[in-house]
Amino acid sequence: MRTIRVETSAATILLTEAPEPKVRDRQTGEIAKDAVSGEALMTLGVVYIEDGESSLIKVTVPEGGVSEGLNLGAPVSLPGLVARPWESVFNGQQRHGIAFRAAAVTPAAFPAAMGATA
């Protein structure tokens, strides 16, 4: 399925859930791996704020792309962020959504405009 690049330069992205291993199979506890590199995958939660609107999203990153120094509530950068639409049938019901994936998650700074006072 096609991936769509997400332009993040005008957005503020705040970490809301610390990175944790992405579970592929909840019954066995198997950790998801990247299909190409075989590297373990991690998921994290962020709030994505742009143009006065916000969305809570889950993002998958390779384990090696998780930087040190990440703090909940702090701004982060998600280089290489892409969105991929998905569909599946689960228990006879059609489900769909958007999966987000980035090459890494790194600490970032608050935009200067956020700290300015009028």
Quote the CA–CA distance of 96 and 108 in Å, as a whole number: 31
How many domains is the chain built from? Answer: 1
> Is residue 12 in a domain?
yes
> Is residue 36 in a domain?
yes
Q: Can you give the pTM of this predicted structure?
A: 0.85
> Is residue 20 in a domain?
yes
> Is residue 32 in a domain?
yes
Q: Which residues pair with 50 in a beta bridge?
A: 53
- Coil, strand or helix at 89: strand
> Is residue 117 in a domain?
no
pLDDT of residue 1: 59
Give 73-111 pLDDT, tens digit per residue.
Answer: 999 999 999 999 999 888 889 999 999 999 999 999 877
Report the 10 Å Cβ neighbour count for 19: 20
At residue 11, does pLDDT exceed 80?
Answer: yes
> Is residue 40 in a domain?
yes
| pLDDT band at residue 113 using 50, 70 and 90 as cut-offs | low
> Is residue 110 in a domain?
no
